[in-house]
């Protein structure tokens, strides 16, 4: 299970700054148990990176970076210190038993994706109703 600190950090610092493409990429990697999603370092070699690195490679401000993309995304976009990020520290510690952490993270990211889809549907749906009513 993820700690409350990690869940809070995800909710307030990570998720508001993850692009839809980055969110889809993480969900895909987590569900597949992909070896491209690594523990213990931000980047081993492209395309192998941690959670933050895969998000960074799919974010407009950090997409052109390679080895330091995850660090830059955490620091400059999410406003976190990469060395003290609860999510990164918990991710790195979970290398031996990462199935539970992967599932917990995938669930959080899927819930965020559903929330975004519902929000987009409501915005589009309300606008279409206004146009049809005219």
Residue 99 or 125, more confident: 99
Residue 129 pLDDT greater than 90, yes or no: no
- As a three-state string, the secondary structure of the chain is CCCHHHHHHHHHHHHHHCCHHHHHHHHHHHHHCCCCECCCCCEEECCEECHHHHHHCCCCCCCCCCCCHHHHHHHHHCCCCCCCCHHHHHHHHCCCCHHHHHHHHHHHHHHHHHHHHHHHHHHHHHHHHHHHHC
Q: pLDDT averaged over the chain?
A: 90
Number of domains in the chain: 1
Residue 122 pLDDT greater than 90, yes or no: no
Question: What is the pLDDT at residue 120?
Answer: 83
26 is in which domain, residue-wise?
Answer: 4-133
What value does the mean pLDDT take over residues 110-127? 80
Q: How far is CA 91 from CA 45, 49, 59, 102, 115, in A?
A: 18, 12, 20, 9, 24
pLDDT confidence tier of residue 99, bands split at 50, 70 and 90: confident
Tell me the two tokens of residue 93: 């510690």
State pTM to two decimals. 0.86
């Amino acid at each position: 299970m993820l700690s409350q600190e990690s869940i809070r950090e995800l909710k307030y610092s990570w998720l508001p700054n993850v692009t839809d493409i980055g969110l889809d990429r993480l969900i895909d990697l987590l569900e597949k148990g992909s070896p491209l999603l690594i523990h213990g370092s931000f980047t081993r070699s492209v395309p192998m990176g941690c959670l933050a690195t895969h998000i960074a490679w799919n974010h407009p401000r950090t997409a052109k970076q390679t080895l330091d993309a995850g660090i830059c995304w955490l620091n400059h976009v999410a406003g976190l210190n990469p060395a003290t990020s609860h999510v990164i520290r918990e991710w790195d510690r979970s290398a031996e038993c990462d199935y539970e952490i992967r599932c917990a993270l995938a669930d959080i990211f899927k819930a965020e994706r559903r929330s975004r889809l519902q929000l987009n549907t409501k915005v589009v749906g309300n606008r279409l109703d206004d146009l049809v009513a005219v």
